[in-house]
Structure 1
Amino acid sequence: MNKTLQILHPFRVLMLPGWLGSGEGHWQTRWAALHGFEVVEQDDWVWPRRGDWMARLDDVLLSDPRPAVLVAHSLGCQLVASWAAHSRHTARVQGALLVAPPDTERADMPPQLHNWRPIRRQPLSFAAVAVVSSNDPYCDPARALGLCADWGVIRIDAGPRGHLNAESGLGDWPEGLAHVATLGQALHVSP
Structure 2
Amino acid sequence: MSTLILTVPGLGSSGPEHWQSLWEHLYGYQRVEQREWDAPRRPDWVATLAQAVQAAPGPVVLVGHSLACSTIAYWAWQHAASKVHGALLVAPADTEQADFPAEAVDFAPMPLRELPFPSIVVASTNDEYVTLARATEFARAWGSRLVNAGALGHLNSTSGLGQWPAGHALLQELVAGR
Could you tell me the TM-score, scaled by structure 1's length? Answer: 0.91
One-letter amino acid matched to 1:83: W
Measure how far apart 1:64 and its partner are.
2.4
* 2:72 matched residue in structure 1: 80
Runs of 4+ in 1 over 2 A off after TM superposition: none
The 2-side partners of 1:36 and 1:16 are apart by 14
2:131 aligned to which of 125, 140, 148 = 140
* 1:122 matched residue in structure 2: 113
* 2:58 matched residue in structure 1: 66
Q: Give per-residue Cα distances to partners, 1:60-115, cap 9 Å, x unaligned.
A: 1111221100001001111111111111x211111000000010001111110111
Number of aligned residue pairs: give it.
178
Q: Does 1:169 find its partner at 2:170?
A: no
Give structure 2 stretches of 5+ with no counterpart: none
* 2:89 matched residue in structure 1: 98
Q: Does 1:39 find its partner at 2:31?
A: yes
The 1-side partners of 2:93 and 2:46 are apart by 17
The 1-side partners of 2:53 and 2:119 are apart by 17
Secondary structure, in 3 states, of the residue corresponding to 2:115?
A: coil
Identity %: 43
One-letter amino acid matched to 1:121: L
Could you tell me the TM-score, scaled by structure 2's length? Answer: 0.97
Secondary structure, in 3 states, of the residue corresponding to 2:2?
A: coil
Does the 8 A contact of 2:121 with 2:135 survive in 1?
Answer: no
Bigger radius of gyration: 1
* 1:5 matched residue in structure 2: none
Q: Does 1:153 find its partner at 2:149?
A: no
* 1:53 matched residue in structure 2: 45
CA RMSD of aligned residues (A): 1.0
The 1-side partners of 2:56 and 2:97 are apart by 36
